[in-house]
Amino acid sequence: MKPEVVVVGSANLDLVVDVATIPVAGETIHGGDLQRIPGGKGANQAVAAARLGRRVAMVGRVGDDEAGTMLRAAIASAGVDVTELLTTESTASGVALIAVAADGENSIVVSPGANNRLSPADVESAAGALQSAKVTLLQLEVPVEAVTAAVRCATGVVLLTPAPAPRVPLDEDLLSSIDVIVPNQSELATMTGQAQLAASGEVNAEVAVELARVIPAAAAVVTLGSEGAMVVTPDDACHVRAPQVASLDTTAAGDAFCGALADAFVDGADLVAATQWAVKVGAVSTMRYGAQPSLPSRADVENLLTN
């Protein structure tokens, strides 16, 4: 069966430690027991869309190590087609080092490993899937050349999460080919040259609209954490508020959000309606621990928000 959603992106093994607070530069603190959890923005988004009932295929690379075997099995077990999830010999799989604070916030360092070996040729070999999919999901944990190849091949709605936030401006031709860019507040500030705002946490809803309009993508959805998201087009802006939940871990909330946007777009939802669904899915994902283990099914979203 042809996929409805194709994800071109990363797969990482998350090494997660609970901490009381996120350490500052030069600080050493004690943490809880180490946990090994399948993650990576690409894999998370693929699993998120699959858990919501979509036919999903993933294009990416893992290493020929134990982590690669674990990641492939985890993604496949969620129902994602991993035919184009390639194995790179003599290379470690991607790893993310994650500290999760008591308030649910996190700090992440990523070692890309095999993700950095994803090439335009790898993506072009999956052109048939990309051309048949209604939605293509992209991130920046793989080389930008591979992302650009995916944009060229895709014929459906193209969504880009600019994470990690690019320090060098992305090509304007690439950005103008994106249907919806989905940054968080920090990513938005960094990619628009306002890094001081990212550091100060001063990107509120009003500032987000101003910055998002600098980006030449067709539309932007700026995630605002517990405050929901701003939907920004050249002519309008709308604040979509999130349900208030008891948050335990925000690690994959943005990926759950993007998977839900893709889910809604498959059914032809408009941008605001898609975002209204996505803030619910993203909020519910924070109620459970871990990256992929936290990604909810459609029934989970309905049940957890009702209760």
DSSP result, 271-284: HHHHHHHHHHHHHH
Asked whether residue 103 is domain-assigned, the answer is: no
What is the structure's pLDDT at 105?
Answer: 81
pLDDT digits (tens, 9 = 90+) for 67-89: 999 999 999 999 999 999 999 99
Which amino acid would we find at residue 4? E
Is 59 strand, coil or helix?
Answer: strand
Q: What is the DSSP string of 92-146?
A: PPEEEEEEE-TTS-EEEEEE-GGGGG--HHHHHTTHHHHHH-SEEEE-SSS-HHH
Structural tokens at position 45: 């988004």
pLDDT digits (tens, 9 = 90+) for 196-207: 776 666 678 888
Q: Which of 179, 249, 255, 263 is catalytic?
A: 255
What is the structure's pLDDT at 215?
Answer: 93
What is the structure's pLDDT at 198?
Answer: 63
**pLDDT, mean of residues 233-246:** 94
Contact, 123 vs 84, CB < 8 A? no
**pLDDT, mean of residues 2-6:** 97
What is the structure's pLDDT at 201?
Answer: 63
| CA-wise closest residue to 278 among 155, 135, 78 | 135
Domain count of the fold of the chain: 1
Asked whether residue 81 is domain-assigned, the answer is: yes
Q: Write out the residue range of the structural domain in which residue 47 sits.
A: 5-12+40-93+114-306
Across 162-176, 184-198, 286-300, least confident range: 184-198
**CA–CA distance, 5 with 287 (Å, rounded to integer):** 25
Asked whether residue 27 is domain-assigned, the answer is: no
Contact, 253 vs 285, CB < 8 A? yes
Asked whether residue 24 is domain-assigned, the answer is: no
- Helix (H) or strand (E) holding 205, with range, is helix 205-212
Match 């071109």 to its residue by tokens.
8
- Helix (H) or strand (E) holding 158, with range, is strand 157-160
pLDDT at 231 over 90: yes
Inter-residue long-range contacts of 73-80, CB under 8 Å, 24+ positions, other chains counted? 74/38, 74/43, 74/47, 74/292, 75/11, 75/38, 75/43, 75/46, 75/47, 78/46, 78/47, 78/50, 78/51, 78/292, 79/50, 80/7, 80/46, 80/47, 80/50, 80/56
Asked whether residue 84 is domain-assigned, the answer is: yes
Handedness of CA 186, 188, 194, 197 (dihedral sign): negative
What is the structure's pLDDT at 194?
Answer: 85
What is the structure's pLDDT at 57?
Answer: 98
pLDDT digits (tens, 9 = 90+) for 92-119: 999 989 898 988 788 888 899 999 999 9
Query: What number of other Cβ atoms are within 10 A of residue 32's Cβ?
Result: 11
Looking up residue 73, the CATH number of its domain turns out to be 3.40.1190.20
| CA-wise closest residue to 283 among 274, 294, 268, 293 | 294
Asked whether residue 109 is domain-assigned, the answer is: no
What is the structure's pLDDT at 166?
Answer: 87
| CA-wise closest residue to 8 among 115, 155, 108 | 115
Q: Residue 33 catalytic?
A: no
pLDDT digits (tens, 9 = 90+) for 125-144: 999 999 999 999 999 999 99
pLDDT digits (tens, 9 = 90+) for 147-181: 999 999 999 999 999 999 887 889 999 999 999 99
Asked whether residue 62 is domain-assigned, the answer is: yes
What is the structure's pLDDT at 199?
Answer: 62
**CA–CA distance, 157 with 280 (Å, rounded to integer):** 21
Structural tokens at position 158: 């193209």
What is the structure's pLDDT at 263?
Answer: 98
* Averaged pLDDT of the chain: 94
**CA–CA distance, 301 with 282 (Å, rounded to integer):** 9
Asked whether residue 108 is domain-assigned, the answer is: no
